[in-house]
Structure 1
């Protein structure tokens, strides 16, 4: 309700574009095409179910022995094209649903690739994939499939992943060279201060607002005194036999998600919650909690428990507006760059926190509902919907023009923690603004650049790049170029044309060279911006380069699978490995720690990227290792960096 207007969708609707005539494929867990907010978007052909191999791509219902029910794809579809109580970004777009993730929301790479191919064959104009894995690999099958979908003329939009806030956390297919990868933002919000009072002489200095559904509900806590009730960890069973109606639930952190604890409190009739930490320190804010929720440290939580023991079971609140924060990048949003290609990812960002959309309830008496979710899964369909609006307004545009328009007109966001613009690998080109994308008079493609890595020990290294400028206006434009690298480091020079005239409706190539003198630069990551100006409007094109071998993780995952009488053991090595060892350790199940070394099952040198595997017979030192849980440790040396990663595995 707030996120679609925030990116400018309502302004585009007023201009006459609602996505009509544009088909968007939702490749996900299926879609409840009977939902009253979505039924208008589906024709007789709904899409395809690759999990059960039929033409009914519905969500997984409860009771499937293979896993839990799903609602994810319906939520995504609503963000694209709902038109009812919820209004999606492109409310008149046509939808096709492809169920590639089945019970429990899990699925295979094969089904995802099949869904991409079928969507292209079925004539989709746009596809949305709010899915992925944690492998930062541009050549994973799903990433390559999206490259091909773009080559076939279908705008491919995918989520960047939810493994942030560290760099290198983007996963496939967000690593695609061509598709539009999307990071998640939180809409501007108000910050409130909070104080709680139970009895004289007891103070709770750590009390802060953790999350809430609405400001009105939060501020309503100021209006009186409430009983508070200890409900332990906040499981549904913890509320049984306790009267929470109109009261505050006191809950400990631990075992399961904060949002579920707040939901359980609401279901029990509570009007608010206080969640205290179960370890030292402060736990995170969580927007969109089902009831207004205050957080405290473990120490202050223990004070509240002591108050209950002493018979002081009432609490009052003093909650006040403190300040406003602008649009921010969500901490969970995965960051780039992409390994091997060193590309900036995400390409753009869009709202993905506390997004309310359509869901199936799986309740026959009231089957259609709404829910608030968060993740880059929620941000991607904002971009898919925006692409539908852009294609309706500019039906002759190709995939590169749609992508460039979204990137060229995106708005930079400021990190409130630093007061500076977020890095390129955090926000991409910025937060999308769909009306600006439709009305732009200039397109610069590609919308970002990576110059790769400069690894000469001494002397200068030159890399050549180019981009295309398209003048969409009806008059000649004269463009100027300026390249800035953060901190203006000595040792980086960019050489390009000073000015360029482009006739109306024409395109022109711009070539430029980047010269890096590695002897004048410390190894690391350097971020720059190519500014393209027509005298009135400036387009910022993000760019990056690396001096020396980048600081990517040398091992990004491992696998351990039984194969008959032996085991297939392997690891993902994005840059290969000069040295690779696999070690087995005991696992101390009593305290979750790593025990003594049992032995090495493989030692290798000069291993090529990106995947290594070996067959292991289960023996260490000539003796069969008993079945049970162990720690598999992977040691890697590559590019002067060593890394040792430990993984829990089960031998059976």
Structure 2
């Protein structure tokens, strides 16, 4: 029985939803209310007829909605109005990112400028960054920072929160990857940067602020939006996803981080799940890795050089000791940390020092001319007697970063991410300086910068052509699945120079339901070159129960576009359940294109119920009555919801039943029959889900009350 988190929605890569259940008990809460009438007129109506409620924001570009603040009783009265369509809880976000213990080991650093090997700089392209703000005085950002706004404190200076007040750095780092133009350069160093501070002290903000920032960006006329944010709700029907899709309709290209919840499948979250989002996974470039090999046990322990890198990359054998009396390598860990006091008075210093990450103090070790390396855990290096360890340097292969979230997307079964970009050990700007961070938060702005480069280099191309060119020319990583990498690693120069653009080459055939099923994808191929191109497909390897129907040869003339049908026939009786993915090869005289494909049969690894939230019903008249909502990620025959006591192992009561559940958002209410129950975290909700046929599976959702 699988366990899913209720109320705690984690923003992957860079932002975290905070437990929303506690806010229920507050006197007033904030809600996003979608309406059928004009949001501004609705706001005026609410002020007149519901004067005790506060109108926080009106949205009329990306959503037709108002954000209101009120008590439960006030919201219940508002719900009776005929113009109310849907009410969403206002979620909280927090900026999160991974700093590196070996941040001084620059031999493995990736500089964003390396991503762009062209002469183009993104000059004049407007890029909006929805984040924690920006260092307004940073030497590498002042020239191309052109404006923005702060929707946390409501002013025109979207500055990062300063030290001592819940300092933030995330937005400045993202901005530098896009367009730094100082000691280091970003991907598009002459682009126009517009920063929108949607998250305040300690990186906290709300969905109201994120959507408000997006609307401000559209009002400012940005060409590209970068959203290094997301959550773990693996469905496309979510307010932020709606906002992304609407922004695309307005001609803005929206780049979204895929999330940091990998390496499992089904971990991508909204708004990267939005169909029109350019979702980005994190690429790990080849790196030099230094390890200590135990000569007796043959175990390997990774270390991270921070001082005198050359010393650590010279392969030799050392003794390791936890006392200062030996002159090879001194190991400093929690058990012997007082040895730090002996270093100053030692007559003979060790050749090198290995220190656990938690004990590393850069200012302390800077006083001594000793090579220093960090180890995450010293457990494998601690020995009862002195042991030989051999220093070994290896160069790792390129990869998809393990933390990078994977697809597919539930409900519409799309393949995500769309593209990969560098996201490991990325050096960029932070307030007052520079630092090296990890995350798909760092990968997304590489693509935002790449889009700016293409818009400058190919000013007549449409947004669809730019996205198509990036996907068509992306480089596939070997031995990596489509739902890990999408089209692959972006190659900016190849995208600019391509003569062929395949519009959406990610072939998602969806979920197979019928006994004999047939799916066709219309693949649009455009020849923007000066000569005719002849193409042919390589027939995929024959698989039992699967038949491909592909045209053998076809020609597309110069400046001509053709739609090519890709037909897939399947016999469910001959195919086992699961996700099927691979590549179809399309070849011309000039190039080879590998088109990723995916389809699935009765895949049960993804959550059938997602985004479950419970809140006390906004009413003082009925105690122990609650409202809840969730998403059904596929058609379900029947769903029974039970309340389970984990301390006494008692199934307390059935609280809801749904028959023939369709895909999408569901809402309901329940009233506990036992009025002595208080929904603390000892209780969980058990969903008994009947799939097509008689198969029943169970999903358990914690109650974080």
User: TM-score w.r.t. structure 1 length?
Assistant: 0.80
Matched, 1:585 2:585: no
CA distance in 2, matches of 1:84, 1:97: 18
CA distance in 2, matches of 1:226, 1:29: 42
What is residue 533 of structure 1 aligned with on the other side?
A: 587
What is residue 333 of structure 1 aligned with on the other side?
A: 404
Matched, 1:381 2:452: no
Aligned with 1:343 (options 414, 429, 439): 414
- Structure 2 spans left out of the alignment, 5+ residues: 1-108, 319-326
1:471 Cα shift?
0.9
What is residue 442 of structure 1 aligned with on the other side?
A: 500
| Structure 1, 500-509 or 23-32: larger mean CA deviation | 500-509
CA distance in 2, matches of 1:637, 1:463: 27
Matches within 5 A, 1:141-540: 141-195=239-293, 205-212=298-305, 215-216=309-310, 218-219=312-313, 225-231=328-334, 242=341, 248=353, 251=356, 261=358, 264-269=360-365, 292-294=373-375, 298=379, 300=380, 303-304=382-383, 318-321=390-393, 323-360=394-431, 368-414=432-478, 421-457=479-515, 460-484=516-540, 488-540=542-594
Query: 8 Å contact 1:229–1:244 — kept in the other structure?
Result: no
CA distance in 2, matches of 1:453, 1:22: 39
Q: Per the alignment, in what secondary structure is the counterpart of residue 435 of structure 1? A: helix
Post-superposition Cα deviations, 1:531-575, rounded to whole Å, max 9, x if no partner, equal: 332222012221111234564222334334345655444444322
CA distance in 1, matches of 2:297, 2:547: 55
What is residue 4 of structure 1 aligned with on the other side?
A: 112
1:579 Cα shift?
1.8
Post-superposition Cα deviations, 1:101-127, rounded to whole Å, max 9, x if no partner, equal: 222223222322222232223111111
Aligned with 2:155 (options 44, 50, 54): 54
Q: Per the alignment, in what secondary structure is the counterpart of residue 345 of structure 1? A: coil
Are the structure 2 counterparts of residues 521 and 207 from structure 1 closer, same or farther at C-alpha, using a change threshold of 3 Å? closer
CA distance in 2, matches of 1:529, 1:111: 41
Matched, 1:647 2:705: no
Q: Per the alignment, in what secondary structure is the counterpart of residue 365 of structure 2? A: coil
Are the structure 2 counterparts of residues 509 and 626 from structure 1 closer, same or farther at C-alpha, using a change threshold of 3 Å? closer
CA distance in 1, matches of 2:442, 2:342: 36
Matches within 5 A, 1:98-117: 98-117=196-215
| Structure 1, 628-637 or 427-436: larger mean CA deviation | 628-637
Post-superposition Cα deviations, 1:262-319, rounded to whole Å, max 9, x if no partner, equal: 6x443542899xxxxxxxxxxxxxxxxx963346684x46x44x56xxxx8xx88531
Are the structure 2 counterparts of residues 627 and 249 from structure 1 closer, same or farther at C-alpha, using a change threshold of 3 Å? farther
Are the structure 2 counterparts of residues 271 and 63 from structure 1 closer, same or farther at C-alpha, using a change threshold of 3 Å? closer
What is residue 135 of structure 2 aligned with on the other side?
A: 32
| Relative contact order higher in (CA < 8 Å, ≥ 6 apart) | 2
Are the structure 2 counterparts of residues 634 and 413 from structure 1 closer, same or farther at C-alpha, using a change threshold of 3 Å? same
CA distance in 2, matches of 1:344, 1:391: 25
Are the structure 2 counterparts of residues 343 and 213 from structure 1 closer, same or farther at C-alpha, using a change threshold of 3 Å? farther
Post-superposition Cα deviations, 1:563-620, rounded to whole Å, max 9, x if no partner, equal: 5655444444322652232323245xxxxxxx53361351313244444444455x5x
CA distance in 2, matches of 1:501, 1:132: 42
CA distance in 2, matches of 1:184, 1:429: 13
Aligned with 1:622 (options 674, 681, 697): 674
Q: How many residues align?
A: 569
Matches within 5 A, 1:551-570: 551-562=605-616, 566=624, 567-570=626-629
1:336 Cα shift?
0.3
Matched, 1:635 2:694: no
Query: 8 Å contact 1:24–1:126 — kept in the other structure?
Result: yes
1:648 Cα shift?
4.5
Q: Per the alignment, in what secondary structure is the counterpart of residue 145 of structure 1? A: helix
1:166 Cα shift?
0.8
Q: Per the alignment, in what secondary structure is the counterpart of residue 682 of structure 2? A: strand
The alignment yields a C-alpha RMSD, in angstroms, of 3.1
Are the structure 2 counterparts of residues 62 and 580 from structure 1 closer, same or farther at C-alpha, using a change threshold of 3 Å? farther
CA distance in 2, matches of 1:60, 1:440: 43
Post-superposition Cα deviations, 1:469-500, rounded to whole Å, max 9, x if no partner, equal: 1112111222223352xx53122223233222
Are the structure 2 counterparts of residues 163 and 437 from structure 1 closer, same or farther at C-alpha, using a change threshold of 3 Å? same
Matches within 5 A, 1:16-31: 16-31=119-134
Q: Per the alignment, in what secondary structure is the counterpart of residue 150 of structure 1? A: helix
Are the structure 2 counterparts of residues 571 and 249 from structure 1 closer, same or farther at C-alpha, using a change threshold of 3 Å? farther
CA distance in 1, matches of 2:238, 2:361: 42
Query: 8 Å contact 1:244–1:268 — kept in the other structure?
Result: no
- Structure 1 spans left out of the alignment, 5+ residues: 198-202, 252-257, 273-289, 361-367, 415-420, 588-594
Query: 8 Å contact 2:679–2:703 — kept in the other structure?
Result: no
1:24 Cα shift?
0.9
User: TM-score w.r.t. structure 2 length?
Assistant: 0.74
Q: Per the alignment, in what secondary structure is the counterpart of residue 426 of structure 1? A: helix
| Structure 1, 608-617 or 368-377: larger mean CA deviation | 608-617
